Chain A
Amino acid sequence: MMTTRRWVMPSLLALVLGLAIASIVVGRIVLGWNVWLDQDTIGRTILLELRLPRALLGIVIGAALGLAGAALQGYLRNPLADPGTLGVSSMAAFGAVLSIFFGIADWHPWVLPLSGVGGAIVGMAALLLLAGMTASALTLVLSGVILSAIAVAGIALVLSLSPSPWAAGEIVRWLLGALADRSLDDLAISSPLIAVGAALILTSRQALDALTLGEMGARSLGIDLRRAQWQLAGGVGLVVGASVAVSGIIGFVGLVVPHLLRPLVGAKPSTLLVPSAAGGAALVLAGDVVVRILPGGSEVQLGVVMSLIGAPFFFALLYSMRRQVT
């Protein structure tokens, strides 16, 4: 067992590196090694303005979603938890869309991501209120359904009411996220928020471990659960809100990755956090390479590919858990 655990992190990091290189090279125009050396070529522009931000955002956003999924699963003690399936991502998108609709997103570059964070934190608070600490899988999944329904309807309504002629396209862009056409500015604004959120999540890792013994067990070990709850709501809110404000909703990353890694690194919630971040980065990078090599006139949204992979996975997981769910 221990020998398995030792090679997991280096392998994941190697995978992330390989996929990041693929993400930079692969696309309508395949970039060669010489672009790093050439000056003032189209290749260099593509590299610095399109591919590099895209690969780096893939790493940051994938890591954020993987980490958020592992933290939520640990806190709720439920392998079905994920910011996407629980509606936290949808609420983040709703928050971001509202700030655009009311025009406050133009005030300052920070307003949009912070509105996403606000939406995600409201989503987390509603989730904890609806599902509570000792939630069954059923209440949890239904809470996610309710939150997603509210947020998706809100996004569609707000964008339909907006004077933009591209409203329909905008709705799709938010609901089925993507990494295309983002800049290094997006990265610069989202990364600090994600870093703070990740730090909040990582400092609550002992609470997550203690929760393996249930609420009473954790408190008997001296864990302040109220503090842990706020720390996680804030941490998950920050990482998910800041990611979704940049990419739109990319679902299922936080669901799939911890589940795949649990047999490799062990089920202890704290040991799953960092590998899940690396795994999330790898999965999002891989998905983002796939959307570029799929045949067709226009690029498929990354959110579509993730849902196509994630939803059957969710189905299989729910099916295998069906006896415990009710």
Chain B
Amino acid sequence: MKIDSRLRVAELTVERGGRRILGSVAVEFASGSVTAVLGPNGGGKSTLLGCMAGLLSPSHGTVELDGTPLPSLAADERARRIAFLPQIPEISWPVDVATLVALGRIPFRHRASDAENEAAVRRAMQATRTTQWSQRTVTTLSGGERARVLLARVLAGESDWILTDEPFAGLDPAHQFEAADLLQSLAAQGHGVVLTIHDLALAARIADRVVILHRGRIVADGTPEAALTPSTLREVYGIDAQWVAVRERGAPLIAIHGRHAS
């Protein structure tokens, strides 16, 4: 079944403790692509993602899923359509991997049969290549293994949208690309993938679209090459960077020289 879904953020303003975290952000996401949300620390990336997942209430503005404002959706329905992986995922108990992944089926508890749930968990574990660890306790996994298992938990929901906050933090380059490949293949299957990321080069490599948030506002939005321009990066991060063509590789890569000397 082809997913055709839109997640629209309209005039979203979030204020916490008198501080404006997001100011009138308007942006629309379409399923079938990977969007990377970038920006300096405190720029509002996590807040935007939290609002898009329906977990944070904005001070003003709305997030609509295919025309329906998120607060009008039942929590279960919202959870079935939008999966969210927080920045620092908590695992409170030493459960085994299969049990953890199966938590992703909780939104389907009144909907799907046990067999359907088990099949979805199996597919998610196959996609993330975590099946061999099903009986292992999550506390015995390495950081990279854990990240894959948590991603499997998110995939088990088979939701249209996958929002993930810093999915590559703490992963070595090989595991970063592995996780990135998986997110790209999900987008290719039609899912909408929105992720926050700090690594500009990785974002440029894997994202179809880049949105840059700075001081609660969108300062650039477009293809990686259109959004991550040297002038934008200088303005937002205060760094000097440029796109370089590397022989033997089709696409150009972004190279960061260092802090901008002003």
Contacts and interface: CB of A to CB of B under 8 A. Distances in A.
Please indicate whether A and B come from the same complex rather than being unrelated chains: yes
A213 B90 contact: yes
From B75, B84, B93, B153, name the one whose CB has the most chain A CB atoms within 10 angstroms: B93
B91 A213 contact: yes
Contacts of B79: 220-222
A203 to B, nearest CB: 12
Interface in B68-126: 74-80, 82-84, 86, 89-96, 99-100, 103-104, 106-107, 109
Interface string B43-61: 0000000100101000000
B214 to A, nearest CB: 25
B41 interface: no
A268 B99 contact: yes
- Chain B's interface size range is 20 to 34
A26 B198 CA distance: 69
B135 interface: yes
Interface in A193-243: 206, 209-214, 216-217, 219-224
B55 A220 contact: yes
A222 B104 CA distance: 10
B92 A212 contact: yes
A220 B90 contact: no
A267 B89 contact: no
A216 B86 CA distance: 7
A275 B96 CA distance: 18
Given A222-B79, A222-B107, A214 B95 contact: no
The residue among B76, B106, B135, B153 with the most chain A CB atoms within 10 A of its own CB is: B106
Contacts of B84: 216, 220
A51 interface: no
Contacts of A214: 86, 89-90, 92
A269 interface: yes
| Chain B interface main SS type | mixed
A267 B93 contact: yes
A223 B82 CA distance: 14
A192 interface: no
Contact of B55 (A206, A210, A219, A268): A219
Given A213-B103, A221-B103, A268 B93 contact: yes
A223 B109 CA distance: 11
Contacts of A209: 103, 106
Nearest to B83: A220
A216 B90 CA distance: 9
A221 B153 CA distance: 11
B205 to A, nearest CB: 27
A77 interface: yes
A85 to B, nearest CB: 18
Contacts of B53: 220
A267 B76 CA distance: 25
A286 B138 CA distance: 35
A1 interface: yes
A318 B83 CA distance: 36
Interface string B136-171: 000000000000000001000000000000000000
B99 A222 contact: no
B89 A222 contact: no
B28 to A, nearest CB: 21
Contacts of A211: 92
Contacts of B153: 213
A201 B153 CA distance: 25
A58 to B, nearest CB: 29
A267 B75 contact: no
Nearest to B77: A222
11 contacts: A1-B135, A209-B106, A212-B93, A212-B103, A213-B103, A216-B55, A217-B103, A219-B55, A220-B84, A267-B93, A268-B95
Given A209-B103, A213-B91, A222-B107, 15 more contacts: A210-B103, A211-B92, A212-B91, A213-B92, A213-B153, A214-B90, A216-B50, A216-B55, A216-B90, A217-B86, A221-B104, A222-B79, A266-B99, A268-B99, A269-B93
Interface of A: 1, 77, 206, 209-214, 216-217, 219-224, 266-269
